[in-house]
Amino acid sequence: MFSTNWFLTLFDWLGAHAYAMQLLVLVIIAVLLQVSASLAYRYFFKKFTGSRYILIDAILHSLRKPITLIIWYLVFIYALQLTLELIHYKPLQVTLDQFANFGIIISLMWFLLHFIGQIQTRINKDIASQRRYDETSVHAVARIARIIVVMIAFLCLLPIFGLPLATIYTIAGGLSIGISLAAQDLLKNIFGGFMLYFERPFGIGDWIASPDKSIEGRVETIGWRTTCIRAFNTRPMYVANAVFSTVTIINYSRMQCWRMEQVIHIRYQDFEQVNNITHAINQLLQQDPNKQPGKISTVNLINLDNSSLTLKINAYINTKDENRFKDVQQELLIKIIAIITEQGGELAGQTQTIVIPEPITIIN
């Protein structure tokens, strides 16, 4: 009986106070919308989550927070509007409508930016597992898509606050001239970053080096202003993007194969065995299973040094992996030394011959 009377009393009070009644209705509607959105999210998330539904999965992950924001943001705006109507303060009512549109555009922009990030994350996972896409291209497309979303949102926000586009364009033109003069180096680096994305002399994960600068390592990130390169001593190098337009870049990750180039010195006493030695080494290189198809391996006597005969060996190893190349090169060098020994030759050390024109008398 007590609870019934209390409910009737509350209902009568709300009926007499329309403002409180409207606020209560707004809160109830917001709670119902929030609960409905959460239930729908859980249902669709369980049904569509997984690798088969990448697009739907990304949409669901991107929608949750923006929907919550827009529900309670609009409730706050309309509650504030009811309050202003109650106190008969009209100047801000039009402004509140503008802020409502502002919240909707910001929530939509948030959703699209989050959606782009979700798609990029899922494609990067696919790259790590199957390597079906190029990571650098995915990064570039995602970045350009974010810029487009932000620019469209900005243009949509301008009319909301009554700013004429002609005035905005005039101000933007003046600012662009001032900024371009004050930040020339920054703009060079930004445009250099775009050129790296479009020309793609290297990508994320590539091993690069520059003979013009002390740059060598693996590319970790390509940013707006700088590119991060992890040197082989694990130290990160942050190189301005504009530098890459003025220096020569060697991309070791895009080699067809590794080249083995070695110079070997043998004794002058082994001169008569040179043909046999070079012929045996050449057969070794031609029969090696790691030889790069279509490439010619050579072994030649190239120089007569002061104390040795110089042989030059050129061979191409069918691998792009540096560690694998070093292992194969080591095996070949060991076999080459064995061939020289089998042919009765020896590797030459640094020696010098001294000619004495007259006999030396040793006095005890």
* Euclidean distance between CA atoms 326 and 157, whole angstroms: 60
Rounded Cα–Cα distance for residues 89 and 91 (Å): 6
Give residue-wise pLDDT tens across range 72-109: 887 787 777 767 666 665 555 556 667 777 888 888 88
**pLDDT per residue over 279-318, tens digit each?**
999 999 999 999 988 888 899 999 888 888 999 999 999 9
Q: Give the bridge partners for 237, in sequence order.
A: 229
Q: Give the whole-angstrom CA distance, residue 359 versus residue 340.
A: 37
Q: Which of 130, 121, 245, 257 is nearest to 194 (CA)?
A: 245
pLDDT beyond 50 at 335: yes
Q: Which pLDDT does position 20 carry in this prediction?
A: 64
Strand order, beta sheet including 298-304: 258-266, 309-317, 298-304
Whose CA is closest to 102, among 148, 67, 154, 62? 154
Among 22-36, 120-134, 145-159, 266-280, the range scoring the smallest mean pLDDT is 120-134
Mean pLDDT, residues 266-281 taken together: 91
